[in-house]
DNA sequence: CGTCATTTTGATAGCACTCAACGAAGGTGG
DNA sequence: CCACCTTCGTTGAGTGCTATCAAAATGACG
């Protein structure tokens, strides 16, 4: 149940090349400066999106990958009947969008976000020459795959388990601070967990009543009993 | 909903190197012969597994990747309470098992199967030198990721939709023959779809009653109305 | 302070699960 | 060749969890 943590790109805000934000590859790199220059030629942005703005539409040509600079981005599909499912959230530092030819899902800002666009073909051609880049990309994708498997597994468990697992993971990723702030509205969490907002709300109320957590406000929780939360996840 | 088809490795049965079966990379390759030799040095097997045999255990070191030669392999997790979920099936030609450090899921034969083991580290080192290999691996993983997303989406739909989609996809992959033979027992399909065997059985009965398909036997179906089946999938 | 979006709560219904039993198929040994 | 056993699949009855519909709180923002 514990997702394996891979090296991921991190946002290099204090970049020497001005407004351009580059992927900061880990490890000493053969010719890091040359690589960075090559990468910045492929970049576009970063571009700012407000919540619910569409970054890439289902069916769009998948010419660009996305690197989240700030905020939260959702990868989702909306059906004819209006219902929506979110297959993944992406946080700052996440690189994603490896569709082939066309995006099968749409990419939208789940909270105000800055996104850097990276030309897919160009990155691929760099990767085919630079082994390190290639294995970095492979590792990133593998990591996403593992997360997706975890998510699939989660979807066939009880509402309590889904919500508990989501909150625990979010809390862990945000450093287990005193307050757990939900970065996206309940509707997005519900769509990610395959629940309705009503069930999500009721489940949180249930966790509150069992003393697992307290509500400071709708969007701000406090984890009271980590042990109990872990138990919920089974 | 239509999964994008990528180039995938195909099994080269009439291989010049005797019992060794190699990945047949697409496209003219710089030095294909050298590459094949390098790859066969990394191989182990193919090894034969009977149905339900464990190929790799949850928690095992992920030193090897798996290439399915024949049969069906399932990627799954079994919980303490005995329930099980299958996140993916792999068919002949599928290469998988890109976990980091340890496998988070177990790998088991869902039907009698032959599996070739490929040393992960070695393949990675080849990939870092051969751009084509690297991008092939990336494409394979990307394809798996896309499938996993489709699967996640499927998990929050009705039983009829899940079963219909599964059968349609299976039928498509097997060439839309007159008879659709289920390659794995109902239990495995149910675990893959997040349903119980009872619900699966009842759903198939329902499809039969609506004239979508007929049962020849438990494991052999005939698709009677493709249009109606497609409609089920929405 | 009014308006709108968001969240919470309540009442009810429906779908899939659970438990239970039966039927079909395949394998084994007498 | 048949009786027996085991595994697998089907069907039925009843329950429970989550969705749906409806409406009331809460909060954000002009």
In sequence order, what DSSP letters do the residues of B48-117 get, joined into one string?
A: EE-TT-EEE-TT-B--EEEEEEES-EEEEEE-TTS-EEEEEEE-TT-EE---SSB-SSEEEESSSEEEEE
The answer to whether B196 CB is within 7 Å of strand D is no
The answer to whether B159 CB is within 7 Å of strand C is yes
**pLDDT value, residue A41:** 78
CB contact under 8 A, A134 and B149: no
CB contact under 8 A, B98 and A138: yes
Whether B85 and B108 have beta carbons less than 8 Å apart is answered as no
**pLDDT value, residue A42:** 83
Q: Does the bond joining A46 to the residue before it have cis omega, within 30 degrees of 0? A: yes
Closest by alpha carbon to B99, among A153, A146, A136? A146
- Cα–Cα–Cα angle for B196, A200, B202, rounded to 5 degrees: 20
**pLDDT for residue B189 is more than 60:** yes
Residue appearing with tokens 């850097």: A116
**pLDDT value, residue B16:** 34
Residue in B87, B128, B131 nearest the CB of A132: B128
The answer to whether A215 CB is within 7 Å of strand C is yes
Whether B138 and B40 have beta carbons less than 8 Å apart is answered as no
Between CA A73 and CA B78 the distance in angstroms is 32
Most confident range, picked from A2-6, B9-13, B195-199: B195-199
Lowest-pLDDT range, A35-39, A141-145, B123-127, B157-161?
A35-39
CA distance B216 to chain A (A): 30
**pLDDT value, residue B22:** 47
Between CA A106 and CA A112 the distance in angstroms is 16
**pLDDT for residue B17 is more than 90:** no
Question: What is the share, in percent, of chain A residues with pLDDT greater than 90?
Answer: 71
Between CA B92 and CA A134 the distance in angstroms is 26
Between CA B163 and CA B168 the distance in angstroms is 8
**pLDDT value, residue A32:** 66
**pLDDT value, residue A13:** 34
User: Helix and strand tally (H, E) in chain A?
Assistant: 7, 13
Question: What is the share, in percent, of chain B residues with pLDDT greater than 90?
Answer: 70
**pLDDT value, residue B5:** 30
- Cα–Cα–Cα angle for A153, A158, A159, rounded to 5 degrees: 110
Tell me the mean pLDDT in the region A32-54.
84
Of A residues 202-231, those with CB within 7 angstroms of nucleic strand D are 217-218
The answer to whether B225 CB is within 7 Å of strand C is no
CA of B216 to C1' of D4 (A): 27
Between CA A4 and CA A1 the distance in angstroms is 9
**pLDDT for residue A100 is more than 90:** no
Residue appearing with tokens 């979010």: A170
- Chain C nucleotides with an atom closer than 7 Å to a protein C-beta: 6-11, 15-20, 25
**pLDDT value, residue B18:** 35
What mean pLDDT, rounded, does chain A reach? Answer: 86
**pLDDT for residue A131 is more than 90:** no
CA distance B223 to chain A (A): 26
Dihedral over Cα of A95, B76, A207, A227: its sign: negative
**pLDDT for residue A30 is more than 60:** no
- Strands of chain B (E only): list them: 43-49, 54-56, 64-70, 73-78, 84-90, 95-96, 106-109, 113-119, 180-181, 213-217, 220-223
Stronger pLDDT, B216 or A31, i.e. the higher one:
B216
With beta carbons under 8 A apart, name residues in chain B contacting A146.
99-100, 104
- Estimate the share of chain B in helix, then strand, then coil, as percent rounded to the nearest 5: 40, 25, 40
Of A residues 183-202, those with CB within 7 angstroms of nucleic strand D are 194-196, 198-199
**pLDDT for residue A172 is more than 70:** yes
Residue in A80, A98, A145 nearest the CB of B98: A145
Whether B108 and B76 have beta carbons less than 8 Å apart is answered as yes
- Residues A191-226: tens digit of each pLDDT: 999 999 999 999 999 999 999 999 999 999 999 999
Copy the structure tokens of residue A85.
């499912």
**pLDDT value, residue B53:** 95
Lowest-pLDDT range, A111-120, A152-161, B99-108, B145-154?
B99-108
CB contact under 8 A, B152 and A151: yes
Closest by alpha carbon to B25, among B5, B11, B42, B9? B9
Whether B89 and B144 have beta carbons less than 8 Å apart is answered as no
**pLDDT for residue A122 is more than 70:** yes
Residue in B142, B150, B155 nearest the CB of A141: B142
Lowest-pLDDT range, A68-77, B16-25, B75-84, B176-185?
B16-25
Residue A229 burial (10 A CB sphere; 0-12, 13-18, 19+): buried
Whether A14 and A86 have beta carbons less than 8 Å apart is answered as no
**pLDDT for residue B185 is more than 70:** yes
Whole-structure pTM over 0.85, yes or no? Answer: yes
Q: Which nucleotide across the nucleic acid strands is nearest to A51, CA versus C1'?
A: C5
């Amino acid at each position: 149940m514990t997702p394996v943590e891979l090296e991921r790109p991190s946002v290099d805000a204090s970049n020497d090349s001005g407004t351009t934000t580059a992927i900061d590859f880990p490890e000493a790199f053969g010719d890091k400066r040359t690589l960075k220059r090559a990468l910045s030629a492929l970049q576009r942005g970063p571009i700012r999106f407000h919540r619910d703005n569409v970054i890439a539409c289902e069916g769009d040509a998948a010419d660009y990958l996305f690197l989240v600079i700030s905020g939260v981005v959702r990868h989702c599909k909306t059906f004819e009947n209006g219902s929506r499912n979110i297959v993944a959230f992406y946080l700052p530092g996440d690189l994603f969008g490896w569709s082939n030819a066309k995006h099968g899902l749409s990419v939208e800002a789940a909270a105000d976000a800055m996104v850097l666009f990276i030309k897919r073909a160009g990155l691929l051609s760099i990767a085919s020459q630079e082994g390190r880049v290639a294995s970095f990309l492979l590792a990133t994708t593998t990591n996403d795959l593992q997360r997706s498997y975890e998510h699939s597994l989660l979807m066939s468990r009880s509402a309590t388990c889904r919500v508990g697992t989501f909150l625990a993971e979010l809390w862990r990723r945000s450093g287990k601070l005193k307050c757990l702030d939900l970065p996206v509205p309940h509707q997005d969490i519900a769509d990610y967990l395959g629940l309705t907002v009503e069930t999500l709300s009721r489940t949180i109320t249930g966790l509150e009543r069992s003393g697992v957590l307290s509500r400071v406000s709708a969007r701000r929780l406090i984890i009271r009993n980590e042990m109990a939360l872990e138990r919920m996840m089974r």
